[in-house]
Structure formats: structure tokens, C-alpha cells
Amino acid sequence: MALPVLVFDMDGVLVDCTESYRETIRQTVKYFTGREIGHERIHALKNAGGWANDWALTHKIIQDLGFSIDFNSVVSQFQAIFLGDGDGGLMFRERWVARPGLLESLSRSYRLAVFTARPREEAKMTLRRFAPHLAFDPLIAEEDVENGKPSPEGLRKIAELTGSGKMWYVGDTPDDARSARAAGVPFVGVASRGNARRQELIALFAAENAVAVVDDLNQLETVL
């Protein structure tokens, strides 16, 4: 009998990306506009939905500040800041959230998978760095779907690839919750205590019928 599948979003769930992706957004915006933005502005857009792709979100903020910059130029600068020259990019500021032994314990009862808006290679780089001994299969990334979150396409692909009739999705944005609801998959929301719009996020998860909300991944075993 196939194991039930536990699907994770990556940023904000498996990985604390405050000093990586989120800081890259801030630095890219400053590069093109000279303006400093706070994390609350990023959280507000994430809560509004439709901004799972951080390149698009960064471009949106730059436009909102009154600057007309080519999207590909934004992507190029974003990637230069995030990846660096191989050893100095903000990607290396990421922090793995799961305490030692948690995912190993879960893997005995669930098949672990990932559905992320990250590019595939960046997702694989992080998994190799922090959890080379764990199998996240399948891994559905940005280029694996025609329609990103909140579309259910990624979760439906995972269901097809695994043949499992039982899945959960763990995510940290309303788009994650909407993707799960559209796919008919129970959703567990992560609302970090460091999120400046945490109460708003919890209410949005409730509106999308989340089965539970946790502070971080390490509380997951108590709600499954």
C-alpha cells in the first residue's frame, strides 16, 4: 500500500528565507530605486495572493514605486544577489527549519514531496545542502507547471506521480492554501511569529479551510 504523501512548500516552511529570498527582494528593489522597503510590504503582497514568484513580486514593488524597469533586468539582478559568485550569495544565509530527526521520523510514515515556486535547480541545491540523506520525491518546481500557485496543477501532478489517495500540503501563504483547496488536499498553514501580518495570515488560512495552523514545521507532528 502506498504511503500517504506529505508535500512541503520550501520557502517559509522547510527553509527560513528571511535573510535569503526576502532580503534579495529588498536589495534588488533598492538597487533599481534607491528605496528601502520593509518586510511588512512583502508580507502584505504575499497575503494578497498571486505573488508566489519572487521575481514577479520584486518587479511589482519596483513598478509600484514609480520605476519602469525591464522584467528580465530585474531577474538578472535578483539572481546575481541571490546566487552570488558561488560562495557569497544571499542563498547561503538560509536556515533549515526542521529540528534534527523530525523529517526522518515523518519519512517512516509518509512519502515526502515538495511543491515550490523556486526554480528546480535552486530547490535541489538547498535540499542537497541541508538534507542530502532525505528523499523528497517528487519535487515539483517552477518550471514543472504551466500555471503556478494558487493553481492546483502542481499538487495534482504529485498525486498522479505518487498514486497516493491521501495527501497533505504544508505551506505559508494564502496561495499555498488556495492551491490545496482547489486540489482537494488538506492544508496545514505555517504562520511564523516573526511575520508582521501574522494575524491577518491566520485569518486567511481559516478562510481557506486550513485543517491546522502552526508556528513552524517543528509543530507538525502534533497536528497530523
Identify the structural domains of the chain with CATH numbers, from first to last. Answer: 5-16+94-222 (3.40.50.1000), 21-92 (no CATH)
Q: Name beta bridge partners: 214.
A: 190
- 191, pLDDT greater than 70: yes
Distance in Å from the first CA to the final CA of the chain: 19
- 218, pLDDT greater than 70: yes
- 144, pLDDT greater than 80: yes
| Length, in residues, of the chain | 224
86 confidence band (pLDDT: 50, 70, 90): low
pTM flag (> 0.85)? yes
Residue 1: its pLDDT value, please?
Answer: 64
- 52, pLDDT greater than 80: yes
